[in-house]
Chain A
Amino acid sequence: KAGVTQTPRYLIKTRGQQVTLSCSPISGHRSVSWYQQTPGQGLQFLFEYFSETQRNKGNFPGRFSGRQFSNSRSEMNVSTLELGDSALYLCASSFRGGDEQFFGPGTRLTVL
Chain B
Amino acid sequence: DQQVKQNSPSLSVQEGRISILNCDYTNSMFDYFLWYKKYPAEGPTFLISISSIKDKNEDGRFTVFLNKSAKHLSLHIVPSQPGDSAVYFCAASAMGAAGLGQFYFGTGTSLTVIP
By secondary structure, the B interface counts as loop
A residues near B45, Cβ cutoff 8 Å: 103
In the bound complex, CA of A48 to CA of B91 (Å): 15
Asked whether A98 and B43 contact (CB < 8 A) given A40-B107, A43-B89, the answer is no
> Which of the 9-residue segments B54-62, B63-71, B95-103 touches chain A?
B95-103
User: A31 interface residue, CB < 8 Å from B?
Assistant: yes
Interface residues of B in 35-94 (CB under 8 A from A): 36, 41-46, 49, 89, 91, 93
A interface residues, how many (CB within 8 angstroms): 27
In the bound complex, CA of A55 to CA of B103 (Å): 13
By secondary structure, the A interface counts as strand
Interface residues of A in 61-112 (CB under 8 A from B): 90, 92, 94, 97-98, 100-106
B residues near A102, Cβ cutoff 8 Å: 46
Interface residues of B in 4-29 (CB under 8 A from A): 6
Closest B residue by C-beta to A6: B43
Sample of 13 more A-B contacts, CB < 8 Å, known A41-B107, A43-B44: A4-B43, A31-B101, A42-B2, A42-B108, A45-B102, A55-B100, A55-B101, A90-B43, A90-B44, A97-B101, A98-B32, A98-B93, A106-B42
